Structure 1
Amino acid sequence: MDLPPGIPVTSKEGVVCKLRKSLYGLKQSPRAWVGRFAASMKKFGYVQSNSDHTLFLKRHKGKLTALIIYVDDMIVTGDDQAEMQNLQKYLASEFEMKSLGDLKYFLGIEVARSKHGIFLSERKYILDLLAETGMLDCKPIDTHSEQNHKLGLYPDQVPTDKERYQRLVGKLIYLSHTHPDIAYAVSVVSQFMHSPIEDHMGVVMRILRYLKVTPGKGLMFSKYGHRDVERYTDADWASSATDRRSTFGYFTFVDGNLVTWRSKKQKVVSRSSAEAEYRGMTHGVCELLWLRRLLRDLGFGPKKPMDLYCDNKAVIAIAHNPVQHDRTKHVEVDRNFIKEKLDAEIVSFPFISSEYQLADVLTKAISTSIFHNSLDKLGMRDVFAPT
């Protein structure tokens, strides 16, 4: 450590500075750490990705090495074994760290490999959560939400323990990183963090009962031999019983594997189902552009327009028709943004019927049979299930 400016240098031995505040928790600490690490990686020949600033890439003789960092936990991968070994030695000389070998456990996410692909799950995290809440012996249930539920804020409702509710929902939010099947239910219960009632807590307990069915369920990533980028987007118009805002959701597949998903209530009230779907489509196009840049950084950029599947013909017509001013005044910026990407042949909007719309599970509570059929198409598996 260096003495702060203004402190006279003394020649007395054994004199130290007494810290009145811990170095940890300072606002400038994360920025200083990221700056120091990025400078060190760039010095070693790595390039920081503009699409994801936690990703560092290096190409050498046609081979790629990638490092991604979260605070001080890192994953190193690639097809250049010699470079990965050199990187580990370099990082060990620059920082106090060690290699933990092949990736098996990262931030609560369990990683398993086989000839079929890579499997991600949070089985231990779920079992610990069930044990903490006393739900290990609960009666399991097939779906996380009741159909046609009307969850909202109503007067004269019985409040529940706010701190416990927020703690449980926070853990479910983290769990949804590997569980797209609960994304919609978690999105709904997270809207009432400020004033939860017993009905809201009941839905949280139902989610835990659903997780009890297959705690080992997760995502399987396999090789399908193509690099197509596809997205399914949908919106449930005026679904919120409190403020009549719509809920939109999307799934994104790369090479046939599910990579991103989201379920979120829109920030404004839409006056028609077409408007709600159009706003959701705009968010989808934005993320497709980000994903396209990220894949190009990795050297796997899509060579054809990325498909965004929508089950609303009116929305597709509006996207292709620049003249419908009366119907699109309130989404004029979104309309021009999408038209620009269509003209550049970056995206395309093929129609898909509602029965094949995978994003339905992110916008509403659907029947048990449709729900589980959708999970199979999303690539969710349970490798711990008995054969």
Structure 2
Amino acid sequence: MFIYKSGSIFLVILIYVDDIIVIGTHSKSISKLILSLGHHFAIKDLGSHQYFLGIEVHHSASGLHLSQHKYITNLLARTSMTDSKSFHSPMAFGSAFSIHDETLLEDGTAYRSVVRALQYCTLTRPDIFFIVNKVYQFMHSPSDIHWQAVKHILHYLKETSHYGLSIQATPNYNLTCFTNVDHASSSDDHQNTSSYFVFMGSNIILWSSTKQKVVSCSTTESKYKVVANGAAELSWIGPLLRELNIAPTLFLASTMTTLVPTMTANPVFDG
């Protein structure tokens, strides 16, 4: 990401390999920049942002809608799931997975390929992040139970391929991080799964669901770990936004905290 500031002119350039997005406060400055780049590189101006790295951008009066409908449709066609039935949830209720589940697949190539594709779907689909993280943990030795879980996700995506992220203009630039933990959810190593979601105003901008690297002795310890992870995310997002001329207020919230600026409330020591 490159930032240009000069008086009232403010430009941001995002580059990923040979894909570029240019945004700014003055349309003439954007056009001048693109023209200047064209003198040095072979570029093609595609106009208003519609598609970027497999993410579709739909413009409306209320803001933007980001989705991966085309990418998901192609994935369903590749896995012969286009005409399959639809499910209304990304995973079956009470699902638990283990490295000792049933029969291992003779060839896990298809499993690994589909799970990697599902990982990319999570760019606009935080609703499948938790279960995709679960099935990814068995990439080295997937079983038929794990493959069924992957197919369940595909059935759900067929029903919800149009889902995505709605980004709306808002005067509220407060950053709020919500955290939670699934304590000792793995029967293989008894590690916890940490999750956090970061919102700027009403817009979700970052999310994660990963295993904690150590085994916690209590739910309190495991929750403090995920709170620390959430605070670390806020610590780098805040300065980034300030560089973009946005001055956010940081909030951190979890199942064990009160929503207060960048602090946790401990009822034991708070008296």
Largest Rg, 1 or 2 = 1
Task: Give the one of 175, 186, 189 matched to 1:243.
Answer: 189
Which residue identity is paired with 1:161? Answer: D
Task: Give the one of 244, 248, 252 matched to 1:308.
Answer: 252
Could you tell me how far 1:81 is from its partner in structure 2?
A: 1.5
Counterpart CA distance in 1 for 2:265 and 2:220 is: 16
- Is the Cα–Cα contact under 8 Å of residues 186 and 192 in structure 2 kept in the other structure? yes
Could you tell me which runs of 5 or more consecutive residues in structure 2 were left unpaired when the two chains were aligned.
267-271
TM-score between the two structures when normalised by the length of structure 2 = 0.93
Is 1:257–2:203 an aligned residue pair? yes
Which residue identity is paired with 1:238? Answer: A
What do the CA deviations read for 1:145-175 (whole angstroms, capped 9, x no partner)?
1222220111763325311011000000001
- The residue that corresponds to 1:127 in the other structure is 73
- Is the Cα–Cα contact under 8 Å of residues 101 and 145 in structure 2 kept in the other structure? no
Could you tell me which runs of 5 or more consecutive residues in structure 1 were left unpaired when the two chains were aligned.
1-54, 317-341, 352-387
- Is the Cα–Cα contact under 8 Å of residues 101 and 143 in structure 2 kept in the other structure? no
Secondary structure of 2:137 counterpart: helix
Counterpart CA distance in 2 for 1:156 and 1:179 is: 29
- Is the Cα–Cα contact under 8 Å of residues 231 and 284 in structure 1 kept in the other structure? yes
158-167 or 274-283: bigger deviation: 158-167
> Going by fraction, where is helix more abundant, 1 or 2?
1
Alignment of 1:168-179 (within 5 A): 168-179=114-125
- The residue that corresponds to 1:107 in the other structure is 53
Counterpart CA distance in 2 for 1:160 and 1:73 is: 39
Change (3 A) 1:189 1:252: same
- Is the Cα–Cα contact under 8 Å of residues 102 and 143 in structure 2 kept in the other structure? no
What do the CA deviations read for 1:3-33 (whole angstroms, capped 9, x no partner)?
xxxxxxxxxxxxxxxxxxxxxxxxxxxxxxx
Is 1:143–2:86 an aligned residue pair? no
Change (3 A) 1:160 1:223: farther
**Could you say what the CA RMSD is over the residues aligned between the two structures, in angstroms?**
1.7
Task: Give the one of 287, 297, 304 matched to 2:233.
Answer: 287
TM-score between the two structures when normalised by the length of structure 1 = 0.66
- The residue that corresponds to 1:207 in the other structure is 153
Secondary structure of 2:155 counterpart: helix
- The residue that corresponds to 1:348 in the other structure is 263
What do the CA deviations read for 1:265-302 (whole angstroms, capped 9, x no partner)?
11111111111111111111111011001101101022
Secondary structure of 1:192 counterpart: coil
Percent same amino acid among aligned pairs? Answer: 36
Q: How many residue pairs end up in the alignment?
A: 265
> Going by fraction, where is strand more abundant, 1 or 2?
2
Counterpart CA distance in 1 for 2:135 and 2:117 is: 12
Secondary structure of 2:232 counterpart: helix
Counterpart CA distance in 2 for 1:192 and 1:74 is: 35
